[in-house]
Amino acid sequence: MSISLLRKVPLVKLSSRRFPIYKQKLFCTMSEEINSQEVVNSTKRILTTQTAESTTPRVKKIKLKKYKSKKVDPTAPLGVLQLEIDELLKAHNLTRENVTNDLKSILNDKTFEIKDKYHREVSNVKILKLTSNGDGLAVIDNPVETEKKQVVIVPFGLPDDIVNIKVFKTHPHYVESDLLDVLKKSPMRRDDLIKDKYFGKSSGDQFEFLTYADQLEIKRNTVANAYKFFAPRLVANKVIPEVGTTIPSPLEYNYRTKITPHFDMPKRLKQLEIKPPLGFGQKGRPKWRKETLEVGGAGPILDIDECKLATDILNIGLTNERKRFDQEFKKYKKGATILLRENTIILDENKPVEEQLGEGSTDSDGKVSYITIDDKEHGVKLAKTCVTNTRQIVTEYVDGYTFEFSAGEFFQNNNSILPIITKYVRENLQIPNSKIDEPNYLVDAYCGSGLFSLCSSKGVSKVTGVEISADSVSFAERNSKNNGVENCKFIVGKAEKLFECIDTPNDRTSVILDPPRKGCDEVFMKQLAEYYPARIVYISCNVHSQARDLEYFLNDTEKGKDYKIESLRGFDFFPQTHHVESVAVLSRV
Ligand SMILES: C[S@@+](CC[C@H](N)C(=O)[O-])C[C@H]1O[C@@H](n2cnc3c(N)ncnc32)[C@H](O)[C@@H]1O
């Protein structure tokens, strides 16, 4: 399933009231980012022509296209890819010059002769390694400059596979390809494990053909590699502990509590006449799984009627909303994204279930769909509904706490692993050798609607959370109140301003960091070092920016040098995908 965990753009509500919808392309995939690399026209050559009226030669400009690459954040997938390519080149005694592609000739190739040479099928390609994005990497011959090589990305290729590929896109130092056939299988390749009929085409769950143990080990390597790339001084000084085993998710499938299928409006169309595919992005045009060639269609968006990673109620919601889309697609003026978010209700057994459900995705009879679950651990009966309105309040239960938040706002996506990570964070925040009656404090930077603040609040004198989204802060306050937690205070603001309003003694304060993918900035890390807390737990959905931040904190801030990384490990929030959540625990030496 294409589970886009990538860059969000602002939500825009569109015409139909039925679907809470966002602007098309809520998420931008890696290949779209590549596409967005600008090709600029430049006037280079000047030719002379004559017109009938005048004998004066007129100057006609012929524009030559030039490749201009967009600046990339080094810790974003495309930035990391450059480092992975350099590492591969080094291992094969190659340099960037050896694999540089002549993009100018491709861009100005009017006859398609050169393009056809570059964008060709290649047989017997050996996959050499896996990128942190979950794709295979290989080296092939350059078809035009025969003394050169090319680095090729092969989605669904595994180390030691021998494969046939079709190269379809050229970049300055690598090319993109589709997997056509697997001639010899990597020992890791376990096609018998595949459950998803869209596997091998869709862009989200590219690890389904690996054992779960292999997936966890690959993610452990991703964490280690991130520190090798972005914290080289820490690695050289041998201060990075051995990366712990990745903590597995209790659910390997049906764990996602939010999915966002979408559809495109073809360019130049004002209204849709034919129903477009509604689902998730296709990863290139792979042909290796012959049984899936027809499944989901051949367009850039696959028509998806089931998501193996999503919870059962979201799949029911998907069926409902697809049926509604069949009826209503002509009303749309733009492409759109449909939100499907799980909502949990603790049922009062004395009332009819239907009266307790609230708003949610409805079936063709107009009834809110739901499933019930007996929560034996807590002795309650739960109803799950699927919310489609971004503004609707949804509820999740974690570790005995109730969390409410707007369906369109951030909340962790895999409920099954949340009790495990919140316990791990809570335990690692403890200041060692504390006496029972000594006060201790907690600062939760980037606190969202209060997940880590509340789950760590027991036995703490005071918790201060800071969060940029005022909406999330009001939910954090509401969640504190609803759970009877009285020692949490939340502040709307940038984490960078946090230290201006912290009045707790640093020696008795632990800090949680859980920033977005881009990580923390140097200003924040510097202030954190100056504040000098007793312990720090840094949780990150982008281990590369985490490694960069800790390299800076431990090496380049005055007091940061007093800290050590006590432990480092991944948590598998997203089984079957390449994503890993990384948790680093720091203490003062
Ligand atoms: C990865 S989420 C973590 C939320 C929360 N810890 C949780 O687990 O639910 C990151 C949060 O940081 C917030 N955020 C982004 N930039 C921020 C900034 N400069 N200062 C404070 N909060 C920020 C986002 O709104 C988002 O809620």
**Is there an atom of ligand 1 within 6 Å of 466 CB?**
yes
Last residue of a domain, one of 172, 202, 232: 202
**Is residue 42 in some structural domain?**
no
* Nearest-10 crossing angle of helices 212-230, 77-91: 90
Alpha-carbon distance 250 to 312, whole Å? 16
Last residue of a domain, one of 202, 220, 237: 202
**Is there an atom of ligand 1 within 6 Å of 411 CB?**
yes
* Ramachandran angles phi, psi of 504, nearest 5°: -85, 150
Find the 511 Cα to ligand 1 centroid distance in Å. 14
* Same domain? 521 vs 533: yes
Residue 489 near residue 496 (C-beta atoms within 8 A): no
**What 3-state DSSP class applies to 495?**
helix
Q: What is the pTM of this model?
A: 0.89
* Same domain? 172 vs 227: no
**Is there an atom of ligand 1 within 6 Å of 452 CB?**
yes
Residue 222's domain comprises: 206-251+414-589
In total, how many domains does the chain have? Answer: 2
**Is there an atom of ligand 1 within 6 Å of 410 CB?**
yes
**Is residue 32 in some structural domain?**
no
pLDDT number for residue 46: 34
Find the 474 Cα to ligand 1 centroid distance in Å. 14
Burial per residue of 225-239, b for 16 or more beta-carbon CB atoms within 10 angstroms, e otherwise: bbbbbbbeebbeeee
| Positions in the chain whose pLDDT score sits under 50 | 1-52
**Is there an atom of ligand 1 within 6 Å of 469 CB?**
yes
Find the 91 Cα to ligand 1 centroid distance in Å. 39
Alpha-carbon distance 162 to 194, whole Å? 20
**Is there an atom of ligand 1 within 6 Å of 448 CB?**
yes
Ligand 1 atom nearest to CA at 469:
25
Query: What distance lies between CA 310 and its chain's CA centroid?
Result: 15
* Same domain? 114 vs 213: no
Q: Which amino acid is at 386?
A: C
| Sign of the C-alpha dihedral computed for residues 123, 124, 128 and 134 taken in this order | positive
* Same domain? 190 vs 217: no
The tokens describing 440, both together, are 């201790």
Question: What are the angstrom distances between the C-alpha of 67 and each of 114, 170, 188, 479, 568?
Answer: 16, 11, 38, 51, 40
Alpha-carbon distance 537 to 558, whole Å? 19
Residue among 443, 468, 473, 479 to mutate when testing ligand 1 (max atoms within 8 A of CB): 468
Residues designated catalytic = 541, 581
**Is residue 271 in some structural domain?**
no
Find the 221 Cα to ligand 1 centroid distance in Å. 26
**Is there an atom of ligand 1 within 6 Å of 288 CB?**
no
Convert the pLDDT of each residue in 293-312 to its tens digit: 889 998 899 999 999 999 99
Residue among 6, 410, 453 to mutate when testing ligand 1 (max atoms within 8 A of CB): 410
* Same domain? 419 vs 547: yes
pLDDT number for residue 395: 97
Question: Which CATH number does the domain housing residue 179 bear?
Answer: 2.40.50.140
* Same domain? 134 vs 222: no
Q: Position of tokens 């886009």?
A: 4
Which of 153, 226, 157, 224 is closest to 188 using CA atoms? 157
Residue among 394, 429, 467 to mutate when testing ligand 1 (max atoms within 8 A of CB): 467
Alpha-carbon distance 271 to 186, whole Å? 47
pLDDT number for residue 273: 82
Alpha-carbon distance 401 to 484, whole Å? 10
**Is there an atom of ligand 1 within 6 Å of 545 CB?**
no
Find the 415 Cα to ligand 1 centroid distance in Å. 18
Last residue of a domain, one of 162, 181, 202: 202
Alpha-carbon distance 541 to 5, whole Å? 10
pLDDT number for residue 50: 42
Burial class of residue 78 in the structure, from the number of CB atoms within 10 Å of its CB (0-12 exposed, 13-18 middle, 19+ buried): middle
Residue among 401, 446, 540 to mutate when testing ligand 1 (max atoms within 8 A of CB): 446
Alpha-carbon distance 433 to 46, whole Å? 78
Question: Which CATH number does the domain housing residue 474 bear?
Answer: 3.40.50.150
* Ramachandran angles phi, psi of 481, nearest 5°: -60, -50
The tokens describing 484, both together, are 């009877």
**Is residue 47 in some structural domain?**
no
* Same domain? 187 vs 244: no
Complex ipTM:
0.99
* Same domain? 220 vs 131: no
Which residues does residue 375 pair with via DSSP β-bridges, in sequence order? 380
**Is residue 489 in some structural domain?**
yes
Alpha-carbon distance 448 to 162, whole Å? 46
Burial per residue of 507-536, b for 16 or more beta-carbon CB atoms within 10 angstroms, e otherwise: ebbbbbbbbebebbeeebbbbbbebbbbbb
* Same domain? 169 vs 240: no
Convert the pLDDT of each residue in 186-238 to its tens digit: 999 999 999 999 999 988 889 999 999 999 999 999 999 999 999 999 999 99
**Is residue 13 in some structural domain?**
no
**Is residue 327 in some structural domain?**
no
Reported for 390-397, long-range contacts at CB under 8 A and 24+ positions apart, including other chains, are 390/11, 390/13, 390/20, 390/22, 390/339, 391/20, 392/20, 392/343, 392/358, 392/359, 394/341, 394/342, 394/343, 394/344, 395/343, 395/344, 395/345, 396/257, 396/342, 396/344, 397/344, 397/346
Which of 279, 315, 269, 587 is closest to 427 using CA atoms? 587
Which of 328, 330, 356, 326 is closest to 344 using CA atoms? 356
pLDDT number for residue 56: 64
**Is residue 169 in some structural domain?**
yes
Which residues does residue 443 pair with via DSSP β-bridges, in sequence order? 464, 511
* Same domain? 174 vs 221: no
Find the 131 Cα to ligand 1 centroid distance in Å. 27
Convert the pLDDT of each residue in 520-546 to its tens digit: 999 999 999 999 999 999 999 999 999
* Same domain? 232 vs 117: no
* Same domain? 210 vs 175: no
Residue 138 near residue 157 (C-beta atoms within 8 A): yes
* Nearest-10 crossing angle of helices 522-531, 543-556: 50
